[in-house]
Amino acid sequence: MTLHREGYLIMAVGLTILTGIQILNYYLFTFTGWLWLFLILTLGALVMAYLIIQFFRIPKRTCTFTDRDIMCPADGKVVVIEEVEETEYFNDKRIQISIFMSPMNVHANYTPISGAVTYVKYHPGLFLVAWHPKSSTENERTTMVVRHSSGKEVLFRQIAGAVARRICYYIRPEQQVTTGEEFGFIKFGSRIDVFLPIGTKINVNLGDVVKGKLTKLGELN
């Protein structure tokens, strides 16, 4: 396991603050002799340090998919599988799969399929809870599209949630990407939407717990 570069500053600041609190806690214990308070505050500092570090963890995973497989781009839970009208890029019907990412999930995002990046657009917006139906079109978000060698395109969208306040993305139009390549990171609770061509074979069900680089969402026909 490694730690993501997007968390270096946050971890440094957070751990510095917690260290300062613990130093004050020690002097408070020395002055009052209240062991119970010292233990409670120490436990609280340790829990906060663990939560900060675990959020930015990047587990080592091997991505093994065929050329036409659509890989899950993020850890989380499948909260939507439905046929919808995609209005930003395709302007036609697509199969939408949405993955909700809680603050306890790994928050790195990976490209679901290999191909050429044809579209990247960042949208400032609101911070509705990530499972809200309008979060896909009204929240802060970044939309990306990759054209597979077959000519079919897959759209995936990072969506900020009520807690998430920063979307990071690293790919640009005309760039060639491969399945499982990291394309971004969302800080704190959030969501990923994937829009697939009608007729795509779907390999997940509503409510499934999925993992980026490990779970197969579907397969292009």
Instruction: Give the 3-state secondary structure of residue 38.
Output: helix
Distance CA 95, CA 84 (A): 6
Question: Confidence class of residue 135 from pLDDT cuts 50, 70 and 90?
Answer: low
pLDDT tens digits along 26-51: 998 888 889 999 999 999 999 999 88
Please compute the mean of the pLDDT values over residues 14-35 and round it to a whole number: 91
Average confidence score pLDDT of the chain: 89
Task: With CA atoms as reference, report the closest residue to 105 among 48, 55, 158, 157.
Answer: 55
Place of tokens 């917006």: 125
194 has a pLDDT exceeding 80: yes
Quick check: is 150 catalytic?
Answer: no
Extract the runs of DSSP E, i.e. beta strands, from 134-181.
Answer: 141-147, 153-160, 167-169, 176-177
Please compute the mean of the pLDDT values over residues 78-100 and round it to a whole number: 95
Provide, rounded to the nearest whole percent, the portion of the chain with pLDDT above 90. 63
Task: With CA atoms as reference, report the closest residue to 204 among 158, 157, 212.
Answer: 212
Which residue among 114, 135, 136, 190 is the active-site one?
Answer: 190
Distance CA 202, CA 53 (A): 34
Could you tell me the pTM of the whole model? Answer: 0.84
Question: Confidence class of residue 221 from pLDDT cuts 50, 70 and 90?
Answer: confident
